[in-house]
Structure 1
Amino acid sequence: MKSFLTEIKRKFGDGNYEGDEFGGARGHNGKGLPTGLPNNFMFATGIECSYPTIDHGKTRRDMLAECDHYNRYKEDLGLVKELGLKVLRYGLPYYKIQQAPGKYDWEFADLAMAEIQRLGITPILDLMHFGVPDWLGDFQNPDLPVQFADYCEQVAKRYPWVRYYTPVNEIYVTARSSAKDGVWNEQLKSDKGFVTALKHCAAASIMGTQQIAKHRPDCVIVQSESAEFIHELRAERTPAVQLENLLRFTSLDLLYAHHPEGEVVNYLYDNGMTRQEYDWFMAGEPPGYQIMGNDYYGRNEKIMLPNGEVCTSIDVLGWSTITHDYYQRYKKPVMHTETNVFDANEAPVWLWKQWVNILRLRKEGVPVLGFTWYSLIDQIDWETGLAEKKGTVNACGLFDLDRKPRLVAEAYKQLLEEYGQITIVPHGELFEVTARPATLKVEV
C-alpha cells in the first residue's frame, strides 16, 4: 500500500516545508536573550533601594548609599544591559526627593532615569520602599496617602515614558516591621500600630495609582508583596498563628477590594480601622492593569515547633505552591518579583529551583509573566533585617560590591540564553499587548 508520505515528499520535499517556520515544526523555540518586545516574558533584576530609619529615627538605612549606587549608577545600569536583561525593578529615593509638600529634588532621579532610558531598559518604578521623608514622620501619619499621591503624580508627569510601577513595595512587610515587630521607622509593637500602618500604606498605594493613571492610563501596576506561610506543627492549632496566616493576605485584600475572612475583619475593626475606612477600600480596585507580584525567600516560609520555637523551612511548599494560594484568591496575573539566598555558592541552584517553580505554575495555567533575581549587587545587613548597622555584606547579588560577577550571574545568563524569548504567557503571540487605557473593572 502506498504511503501518503510518498506523495507529500514528491510534492513538498522531505521536511523543512515552506511556511513551517511560522509557528510550525520549524518555528522558534524561545531560545535567545530577551528581545524587549511587549510580548516577551519579563526577566528582571532589581537594585536594592530600601531606606527605613532605625534607632527611633536617628539613623537612615539607605541601601542606594551603602551599596554605592549613587556614585556607580551608570556602571550598575550597564551591568543590567550586559547581562541581556531588559527589565529592572528600580526604586527612586522617595525620602530624598519629596523634601516638603510641593518641593522636590530631582537631581539624582533625572540622571538615573535618563541613563535607564538611554540603555533601553524597561523600569518597574518602585516609588516607596520601606521609608518616608523625615518631615512625614512615619507610617502612622494619616497625611501619608495624600502627600504620597502628589509625589506619584509628579513622577508620572516627569517621566511620561514609564509604564510599569510598584507604588508601595511590600505593604505587609512595611507595616509589620515598622509597627508590629518594632524594627524600623515608628518601631511600634502593637496590633493597632500595625493596622494603622497597613491602612495608610494601602491607601497611599491606591491614591498614588490613581494619580499615575491620570497621566498614564495604560499603566501596569506590579504590586510586590511577600509570599509567606507558617507551618504550625501542633495537634491543635492556635488561633494566633492561624490569624497570622490570614493576615499575610490583608494588604492585597485592601488593594484588590477582596473581603477578608471574618476574623481578619474583626481584627481590623478591633485595632482602629473604621467601618467607613473598610467600605472605602472595598469600593473597588485601583486603576491600571494589575499584576500580583509575589516575593519569595526561603526565610519567608517558617515552621513552628510544638514548643513554640520557630525555624526557617526554606522551601517546603516553595514559591509555586504558596503563590498558587494567592492566585486562587485574587485571579491576577503573577510575577515572581524578588528572590535570593545569602550563600553565593548556593545561589545558582536556588535560581534554577525558582525557575522550576515558575515553569510548574505556567504549566498549570497560571499566567506568570515575569521573574526577578533581587538584587543586581550584594546587599548589606539584611541578615538582621537592617535592624543593626554592622556593615555585613550579604552575598546575594548577581554581582558583588566591587561589581564583579558572582556564580549566579553566569547561571542567570544561561537561563536567559535558554528561555529568554518565551512569550509573556503561553501562546502569547496570539494576543496583542495593548497600549490602550485600562477600562474594565469586572471579570466576566
Structure 2
Amino acid sequence: MFPENFIWGAATAAYQIEGAVAEDGRGPSVWDDLVRQPGRIWEGHTGETACDHYHRWREDVALMKEIGLRAYRFSIAWPRVLPEGAGAPNEKGLAFYDRLVDALLDAGIQPWVTLFHWDYPLALYRRGGWLSPDSPSWFADYTALVARRLGDRVAGWFTHNEPQCFIGVGLQEGRHAPGLKLGLSDVLVAAHHTLLAHGRAVQTLRAHVRKDAKIGWAPIGHVHVPATGSAADIAAAKRATFSIENDFMKNNTWWSDPVYLGRYPEDGLARFAPHLPKITDADLREIHQPLDLCGLNIYTAERLVRAGPDGRAVTVAEPPGFAMTHMRGTVHPEALYYGAKFFHERYRLPICITENGLSCADWVARDGGVHDPNRIDFLSRYLGEFARAGHEGVPLAGYFQWSLLDNFEWAQGYQHRFGLVHVDFATQKRTLKDSARWYRETIAANGANCA
C-alpha cells in the first residue's frame, strides 16, 4: 500500500502529443527545425500531428477519467504561449491550456505542469539559446506568464524535464534538438544557465501560484543497482550513483547537488576545472531554492555493480537472455527501490517518480483489444519496489506513469509505444490497453495489488 495522499498519475509532453505546430499562432521550436533535417528522425517522422491532442484534448481527458487518474502531468509548449520565446504572448495558446486545466479539474484530476520539456523556442535559440546569459531571464519571464495564467488552479509544478537530455543529448552528443556537438566548456555554460533558469523559475512560481502548490523538477535518476544485497555492494552502488565518472552530462550530482544542496559536487569541480564557467556564490544561492519533492524519471538501472577490492563499483555483466524492453532497456524494478532510497538519503525530500514505463511492441488484436501483459508485469514490479522503499521509511509523494498515450518518441519517431492508450497514428483512434484497465484497478486499490 501507498500513503493515503499518494499522487497517482500519468505524464505526457507537449511536442510528443499536441501536434498543431503551426496553428493558432504557435511559433516553431528547435524540434520543429530538427525534424525537417534529413536523416535526423527515424523514418523521417515529425511531431507535426503527433496524437493531435491539441484538437482531441476533450477525448483525452475523458480517457484519463476512465482510467481513474488522480493527476496528469503535462508540459506547456513554450512557443505556443510565446511564439518568439519572449515578448508578446499568444492568447490562443494560453487559452488552450486554460481549457485543458479546467477540464481536468471538472474531471476530478489534478493538473501538474512541466514548464520545459525540450521544445525550446527557435527564435530564442537563434539568439543563443541556453548559451546566452539572458536565457535564465527569458525562462523566468515565460514562467511568470504561465504562472499568472494557471497558478490559481494547478496543483504541482516542475521546472525542467531531464536536463541531462536536452543539454547532454541535445548540445553535447547532437542526437536531440538542436542537434549540436559543442565542446565541454560551452556545454557547462549551458548547463549552468539551465540551473539558474530553474532557480529563477522556482522563485517566480512561489510569487504567483497558489500557496499549497507543490514545486519540484524532473531530472533523470541514473541509478546504479547492487548485484547483491550485501552492505558492500549497496555502498558501492550508492557511491557510483552520486559520482561523476566521465565528461558527459549523464550524471546525477552535477545537476541535483546545486539544486538541493546549494553546491556543485567536488569530483565534478575537479574533473571539469579547465572548462568551468564563472560560478559565484550568488549563482548558487539563486539555484538553491526550497523544493517540496524530489522528482525522478527512472526507467532502468544505469548499471549493475558489485564492490571491488577498494570498495569502488565494478560493473557486473547482465546474464545471457536478460529481460529488456522494446527500446532495449534492461528491466531492473529494484531501480525504483534503490533510486528512492539513495536520493532521499542524500537530499532528504519526499520522492516523486515523475516518469516510469516501457516501450512494448503493442498492436490492436483481432478481438479489438490491445493486450500488453509485459507492461502490466513491468509496472507492477516497479511499483512494488517503490512501495518497498516506502515501507522502509522513504516518504513517497507520487508516481506518474509514462505515458498516457503512445506518442512521438523524439529521434525514434513512432517506432516505440509507451502509452496506456494505443494510438493509431493514421486515424488517431484511441484504444485503452489492458494495462490502462490494470492501472485503474491499481489506483483504486492504492497499489495494494503491487506492494
1:369 partner SS:
strand
- Cα distance in 2 for partners of 1:54, 1:284 equals 27
Which digits, 9 at most, give the CA deviation of each residue in 1:285-312, with x for residues without a partner? 314x421111111275578689xxxx85
User: Are 1:398 and 2:383 an aligned pair?
Assistant: no
Partner of 1:202 in structure 2? 195
- The alignment partner of 2:404 has SS state of coil
- Give the aligned partner of residue 346 of structure 2: 329
Cα distance change on mapping 1:261 and 1:352 into 2, 3 Å: same
Q: Select the residue among 64, 89, 104 that pairs with 1:104.
A: 89
Alpha-carbon offset, residue 399 of structure 1: 0.5
Structure 1 stretch displaced more, 319-328 or 127-136: 319-328
Q: Does 1:357 align with 2:385?
A: yes
Instruction: Answer yes or no: is 1:247 the counterpart of 2:269.
Output: no
CA distance in 2, matches of 1:286, 1:316: 31
Going from structure 1 to structure 2, the CA distance change for 1:64 and 1:113 (only over 3 Å counts) comes to farther
In structure 1, C-alpha distance between the alignment counterparts of 2:35 and 2:173, rounded to whole Å: 18
Q: Mapping of 1:84-233 within 5 angstroms?
A: 84-100=68-84, 101-107=86-92, 108-137=96-125, 138-159=129-150, 160-189=152-181, 190-216=183-209, 217-229=211-223
- Within 5 Å, give how 1:288-299 maps onto structure 2: 289-298=291-300
Alignment partners' CA distance in 2, 1:182 and 1:203: 23
Q: Distance in 1 between matches of 2:255 and 2:222?
A: 13
| Offset from partner CA, 1:344-391 (integer Å, 9 cap, x none) | 4410001101211121011110001111111111123x3xxx2255x3
The gaps in structure 1 that reach 5 residues or longer are 1-28, 423-444
1:281/1:387 CA distance change after superposition, 3 Å:
same
- TM-score by length of structure 2 reads 0.73
Partners of 2:120 and 2:226 in 1: how far apart?
35
Q: How far 1:404 sits from its partner (Å)?
A: 0.6
Q: Is the 8 A contact 2:407 2:417 kept in 1?
A: yes
3-state SS of paired residue (1:66): coil
Q: Which amino acid aligns with 1:356?
A: G
Q: Which residue of 1 aligns with 2:398?
A: 370
Measured in 1, the distance between the counterparts of 2:80 and 2:117 equals 12
Percent of aligned positions that are identical: 21
The change in CA–CA distance for 1:93 and 1:301 in structure 2 (over 3 A counts) is farther
CA RMSD of aligned residues (A): 3.3
Spell out, residue by residue over 1:243-281, the C-alpha distance to the aligned partner (whole angstroms, 9 max, x if none): 7699322211122234343221234443232132x6522
> Could you tell me whether the CA contact under 8 Å between 1:53 and 1:184 is conserved in 2?
no
Determine the C-alpha separation between the residues in 1 that align with 2:316 and 2:334: 17
Shift of residue 98, structure 1, vs aligned partner? 1.2
- Using the alignment, how far apart are the partners of 2:448 and 2:172 within structure 1? 43
Looking at structure 1, the residues matched to 257 and 395 of structure 2 have their Cα atoms a distance apart, in angstroms, of 20
Q: Tell me which amino acid in the other structure corresponds to 1:118.
A: D
Q: CA deviation at 1:173?
A: 2.2
Distance in 1, matches of 2:76 and 2:118, equals 12
Which amino acid is the alignment partner of residue 295 of structure 1? N
Does the 8 Å contact 1:139/1:200 carry over to 2? yes
Which deviates further from its counterpart, 159-168 or 292-301? Answer: 292-301
Residue 272 to residue 96, structure 1, CA distance change in 2 (3 Å): farther
**Secondary structure, in 3 states, of the residue corresponding to 1:103?**
coil
**Which of 273, 279, 283 in structure 2 is aligned with 1:280?**
283
Following the alignment from structure 2 to structure 1, what is the Cα–Cα distance between the partners of residues 396 and 165? 23
Q: What residue identity is the alignment partner of 2:274?
A: D
Counterpart Cα distance in 1 of 2:204 and 2:244:
38
Judged with a 3 Å threshold, the aligned counterparts in structure 2 of structure 1 residues 259 and 373 are, in CA distance, closer, same or farther, namely: same
Distance 1:245 1:57, change over 3 A: closer
Please give the TM-score of this superposition, normalised by the length of structure 1. Answer: 0.74
Contact 2:82 2:89 in 1 (8 A): yes
| Whole-Å separation in 1 of the counterparts to 2:48 and 2:433 | 20
Aligned residue in 2 for 1:410 = 437
The aligned counterpart of 2:51 is: 67
1:387 is aligned to 411
Q: Which moved more, 1:245-254 or 1:343-352?
A: 245-254
Q: Does 1:315 align with 2:292?
A: no
Number of matched residues? 372
Q: Which residue of structure 1 aligns with residue 11 of structure 2?
A: 46
Cα deviation for residue 164 of structure 1 reads 0.9
State the alpha-carbon separation in 1 of the partners of residues 187 and 331 from structure 2. 26
Unaligned runs of 5+ in 2: 17-28, 38-44, 228-239, 306-314, 318-327, 361-371, 424-428
- The Cα of 1:113 is off from its aligned counterpart by 2.4
Task: Tell me the alpha carbon deviations over residues 388-411 of structure 1, each in whole angstroms, 9 at most, x when there is no partner.
Answer: 55x32x222111112211121122
> What is aligned with 1:5?
none
Residue 367 of structure 2: aligned partner: none
Q: Residue 283 of structure 1: CA displacement?
A: 6.0
Change beyond 3 A, Cα 1:413–1:316: closer
Quote the offset at 1:316 in angstroms: 7.3
CA distance in 1, matches of 2:154, 2:90: 19
Q: Say if 1:373 and 1:98 are closer, same or farther in 2 by CA, change over 3 A.
A: same
